[in-house]
């Protein structure tokens, strides 16, 4: 054994687990947390089986780290965190259903519209002159998809 390792050896894994969790507190992202949990589990396994070779300890740590990270990602996909605002940080999706007036014509189905304080690319199925009203019907990445808003019916 190396002189810098603590005795009993499982304390080294426990300290590594706590250190990794401290790193998680500084750099959040739920990555180091699960590696810290894996290190703590290796420490517990080593407390139960103190004669475990270091190669098996490292292998167990690797398997538990990857397994716990993958299990957490699967759990997050199946049970997403509820939020009060589903469109938070999805700016383009916030514009779906809104109607905007074109400042410049749409040529070959592509153009730009002014939305609040920014300019967005927009795709429409047809060319449109300036002044046309577009309803935003969807979002493709950073491009808004629009449909020509039919003019309101005039009463006779």
11-24: average pLDDT:
94
CATH number of the domain encompassing residue 100:
2.40.50.140
Residue 137 structural domain:
91-148
Contact by Cβ (8 Å): 72, 35: no
Q: What is the pTM of this model?
A: 0.54
Q: What are all long-range contacts of 55-61, with beta carbons under 8 Å and residues at least 24 apart?
A: 57/13, 61/13
Length reported for the chain: 156
State which of 1-5, 55-59, 105-109, 148-152 shows the largest mean pLDDT: 55-59
* Share above pLDDT 90 across residues of the chain, in percent, rounded to a whole number: 51
CB-facing half-sphere around the CA of 50: CA atoms within 13 A: 5
Q: 102 and 124 in contact (C-beta within 8 Å)? A: no
* Residue 142: per-residue pLDDT: 86
Segment 37-85, tens digit of pLDDT? 999 999 999 999 999 999 999 999 999 999 999 999 999 899 887 777 6
Q: Which of 32, 52, 78 is the last residue of a domain?
A: 78
Structural domain ending residue among the three candidates 24, 53, 78: 78
Q: And the tokens for 133?
A: 């009203």
Q: Can you tell me the mean pLDDT for 78-103? A: 80
| Residue 3 confidence (pLDDT) | 56
Confidence band for 2, pLDDT divided at 50, 70 and 90: low
Taking the CA of residue 133 as centre, how many other CA atoms within 13 Å lie in the half-sphere pointing to its CB?
Answer: 7
Q: Is 118 domain-assigned?
A: yes
């Amino acid at each position: 054994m190396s002189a810098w390792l603590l005795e009993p050896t499982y304390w080294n894994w426990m300290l590594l687990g706590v250190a990794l969790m401290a790193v998680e507190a500084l750099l959040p992202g739920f990555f180091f947390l699960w590696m810290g949990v894996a290190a703590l589990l290796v420490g517990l396994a080593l407390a139960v089986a103190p004669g475990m070779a270091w190669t098996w300890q490292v292998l167990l740590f690797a398997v538990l780290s990857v397994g716990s990270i993958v299990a957490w990602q699967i759990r997050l996909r199946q049970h997403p965190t509820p939020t009060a605002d589903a469109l938070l940080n999805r700016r383009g999706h916030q514009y779906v259903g809104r109607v905007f007036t074109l400042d410049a014509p749409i040529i070959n189905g592509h153009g730009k519209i002014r939305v609040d304080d920014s300019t967005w690319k927009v795709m429409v199925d047809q060319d449109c002159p300036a002044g046309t009203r577009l309803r935003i019907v969807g979002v493709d990445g950073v491009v808004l998809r629009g449909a020509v808003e039919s003019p309101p019916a005039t009463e006779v």
